[in-house]
Structure 1
């Protein structure tokens, strides 16, 4: 299969592909949360920035959405420090699509987000980076063609690879 994920689902995709790399012939990661982003200092900054919002949520009536946000916030720091230590399997090709306007409002966070995407694709030859020009973090909504093209290219490329990950020999 070709795995496609967006935003925080990058974390789910990373854990999935690490556990089942033989199920995935390639992935398209759409402005996803990658392990490279969650440095110790960035994680601490995110935890601190969200403390007031979490405290306010805890005082609100417990609805499904509130419970989901609180569950996501629970152990956020330790979970993301552990996530930072993970690596995407080298045997699984990936295309990382990054938005031209990242999901972060500060220049430092936006720069770290872009650098994480670049580090991810630079780690292994069978990865590429696509910048979705004139896009927000909601690339699938604002620039669906960029995602569709990347998926089509990954499907076509995976059809050319044998099970051992090597390209099919060219026909004579």
Structure 2
């Protein structure tokens, strides 16, 4: 018996030593990787907003300016990069990294919907892109554009919601499903993983393995450490942001297009219970349809064979509605 405990103790000490060595190696690997990442030249430009630098990526010239707002996502402007490459340069397209995401500095402003909209408005002014703006918001980004429309309606000529999050989703979902879809990321674990080099391995291949996403797939694991804290901070404020956004119920007469994912299998990997999955599909469809009430000039477009990330699953659909709205705005002049 004593021999057993002796060997058990040795094995335990050996495993502990191995774990410590792996953590040290991971920590060193992360430090070296971050040092290398700091040498990468940003793909866009910077403007100072409220005493900190925000990064943006702009293509084209002339108005209107299509302004992309990203989801709850560490990839920032990279989620729109491939779409911007395909849009005509006869008008301006503009994506950016919210404060603390990728190349944008965190600054001191709180992570509230009002302040995020204010920072974006100042960034657009500082970057001298032409007005008016067409706002394109995916998921959480669709919630955030509500604040921009509410605060600067005179600058907005159109809104496109890409499978947008519904800020008052609680009234559409059962308590069980609401808790499931709003449980969020494990913040403590991700901070640990980000410190010891695990996060960059976990988020490798975040974009589809296609040629048009080669740049994003190379950048995302490399730059993830820059976004991690800000993304978790946005998660901490998600509930209050949604609560405030739910109070914004009208865009007036501003044209609104609603892109909705309609692949019936889009929740197969995330929701195993058949009844909950059916509830989620029906509830999401109802939320998306109710977005029509936001504007007196609204239209919903169902996107087949697409999951929540329509900008990746069917970028052509996003490009088409953007070009259609630009044409509509230009012909109104």
TM range (shorter): 0.7 to 0.9
RMSD: 3.0
Shift of 1:128: 0.4
Match runs of 1:11-22 below 5 Å: 11-22=143-154
- 1:67 corresponds to which of 217, 221, 229: 229
How many angstroms apart in 2 are the aligned matches of 1:48 and 1:33? 11
Q: Match of 2:323, SS?
A: helix
Shift of 1:66: 3.6
Q: Match of 2:145, SS?
A: helix
Q: Which residue is equivalent to 1:107?
A: 278
Q: Which residue is equivalent to 2:260?
A: 98
Q: Which residue is equivalent to 1:157?
A: 328
> Per-residue CA shift, 1:27-53, capped at 9, x if unaligned?
221111233535386799348852683
Shift of 1:71: 0.5
Q: Which residue is equivalent to 1:53?
A: 186
Q: Give the structure-2-normalised TM-score.
A: 0.42
Q: Give the structure-1-normalised TM-score.
A: 0.75
Report the structure number with the largest CA radius of gyration: 2
Q: Determine which structure has greater relative contact order: mean sequence separation of CA pairs < 8 Å that are 6+ residues apart, divided by chain length.
A: 1
Equivalent residues of 2:139, 2:164 under 8 A apart: yes
Per mean C-alpha deviation after superposition, the further-off stretch among 126-135 and 14-23 is 14-23
Q: Which residue is equivalent to 1:27?
A: 159
Go from structure 1 to structure 2 and tell me whether the alpha carbon gap of 1:81 and 1:47 turns closer, same or farther (over 3 Å shift): farther
Q: Match of 1:35, SS?
A: coil
Gaps in structure 2 of 5+ consecutive residues: 1-132, 196-224, 272-276
Per mean C-alpha deviation after superposition, the further-off stretch among 36-45 and 71-80 is 36-45
How many angstroms apart in 1 are the aligned matches of 2:300 and 2:155? 23
How many angstroms apart in 1 are the aligned matches of 2:184 and 2:134? 37
